[in-house]
Amino acid sequence: MEDMKAVILCGGKGTRIREESEFKPKPMVKVGDLPILWHIMKNYSHFGVKDFVLCLGYKGEMIKNFFFNHEWMNNDVTIRLGNRNEDQIHHSDDWEDWKITFADTGQETMTGARIKKVEKYLGEDNFFLTYGDGLSDVSIPSLFDFHKKQGTVGTLTAVHPHSKFGMVKEADSGNGIIERFVEKPVLYDFINGGFYCFKKELFDYLHEGDSCTLETEPLNKLVGEKQLSMFKHEGFWHAMDTYKDYLSLNEMWARGERPWKVW
């Protein structure tokens, strides 16, 4: 898997989390002291995937600036004024050795078109794809092994969502007496958790027109051709879709409850 690339969609505006994303792209919203994008990339690199293609859009320059300055701001440095060729960054032992391609895929471009625009940066085999706003402890090697076993063009990770509402449980007697409240339980149904693995053939289903949306026509066509598989993940998954999600993830981080932190 060390030769595989991970494409991360980073171009959305995050309108439902405007309190944090109005002045920054959504993937740069922080969990703890670092952007959620960094957490996602750290998970992939833990499993040996260290080559990333970031599909930039809204305020994409802020993502570039973060990574261009990250080493300087988070390590000890030695500089020699007058001869900056001797500047030295003193990396810690666990520093990230990532390769990152920053691709400007447009301000209003939909997801399928963003992916199509980075085709030239990918190899001839499989690649990973995810969104820049979701955290999970999904095993990337297990996802890939399942994808290879299935042999389909695409595999998506299916997860159990949390209900946004508390539930009321009636007593077994069925007499209308409430037995207990269940605070925002995990639901039994599956949804698309956004961690994909695709063969290069995916690009035959995409076009560069800005309206091409991965989650509609392309995925539905793959379903119709029985070329999309579902990898069931029973572990942790949490999207940062709203400001409430942002608060929830940061509260978890502050408590030391970090199930997505597999590294």
pLDDT, tens digit, for every residue of 35-78? Answer: 999 999 999 999 999 999 999 999 999 999 999 988 878 788 88
Within 10 angstroms of residue 149's Cβ, the number of other Cβ atoms is 10
Beta strand spans in the chain (E): 5-10, 30-31, 34-35, 51-56, 76-78, 88-90, 99-104, 127-131, 134-136, 154-159, 167-170, 178-182, 191-198, 228-232, 237-239
Indicate if the pLDDT at residue 110 is higher than 80: yes
If one compares 186 and 240, the residue with the highest pLDDT of the two is 240
85 or 99: which carries more pLDDT confidence?
99
Element (H, E) at 228: strand 228-232
**Mean pLDDT value across residues 162-178:** 71
Question: With the CA atoms of 224, 129, 117 and 202 taken in that order, what torsion angle do they form, in degrees rounded to the nearest 10?
Answer: -30
Predicted local distance difference test score (pLDDT) of residue 185: 61
Domains of the chain by range and CATH? Answer: 5-255 (3.90.550.10)
Percentage of the chain lying above the pLDDT 90 cut: 66
Q: Phi and psi for 257 in degrees, rounded to 5?
A: -95, 95
Q: How far apart are CA 54 and CA 93, in angstroms?
A: 25
The CA distance from 16 to 10, in Å, is 15
Show the tokens assigned to 150.
């299935």
Token pair 């929830």 in the structure block, residue: 248
Q: Beta partners for 181?
A: 168
> CB count, 10 Å around CB of 221?
14
Q: Are 90 and 189 in contact (CB under 8 A)?
A: no
Q: Which of the residue ranges 12-21, 112-121, 137-146, 237-246 would you say has the lowest mean pLDDT?
A: 12-21
**21 C-beta neighbours (distance < 10 Å), count:** 23
Cα dist from 156 to 22, 129, 147, 196, 249, whole Å: 30, 9, 9, 4, 23
- The first and second tokens of residue 185, run together, are 């339980």
Query: Residue 173's pLDDT band (boundaries 50, 70, 90)?
Result: low
Statement: residue 186 has pLDDT above 80: no
Least confident of 78-92, 170-184, 222-236: 170-184
pLDDT at 89: 84
pTM over 0.85: yes
